[in-house]
Copies of this chain bind each other. A is one copy, B any other.
Amino acid sequence: MDKMQNLSKNQQIIFDLIDKSSEPMKAYSILHNVQKKGIKAPLQVYRALDKLVEIGKIHKIESRNAFIACHNSSCQVSKATAFSICEICKKVTEISSASLSKYLTNFKDKDGMKYSKYNLEFFGLCKKCR
């Protein structure tokens, strides 16, 4: 199951909305925005979100309970994500740094354990808000 598959009707509607948004969107905000397209219930939104996250088209910003389209074209699946979050304007940007992802993918803990997945959220002030 990869990014190239066709999305279902609800998945496409919801992905298009998130993809057009300049900021992460919350589930109920998505719901309000797609009610005119016939998506009436929270569960319809959450199901589409779950699938979109699973196939890596969107990511969840855990600290915000919000969803953002993936802008890292090289990642087929959503398993190694990093974001910067501005604490003033709340702008969220996906970080795609080869050296960062290499460092984290190869990171071993005390017991020598490596981890296949990670999510990293950086907080600070963006350029505009400094």
Contact = CB atoms under 8 A, between A and B. Distances in A.
A127 interface: yes
A123 B113 contact: no
Interface stretch (A14-22, A23-31, A32-40, A103-111): A103-111
A34 B91 CA distance: 38
Contacts of A103: 103
A114 to B, nearest CB: 7
A100 B109 CA distance: 9
How often does this chain occur in the complex, in copies? 2
Contact of A118 (B111, B115, B122): B122
Contacts of A123: 115-119
Given A107-B100, A109-B95, A109-B97, A115 B62 contact: no
A36 to B, nearest CB: 31
A126 interface: yes
Contacts of A5: none
Nearest to A121: B119
Q: Which 8 residue pairs across A and B have the least CB separation, nearest first?
A: A115-B122, A115-B124, A117-B123, A62-B62, A120-B120, A118-B122, A62-B63, A119-B121
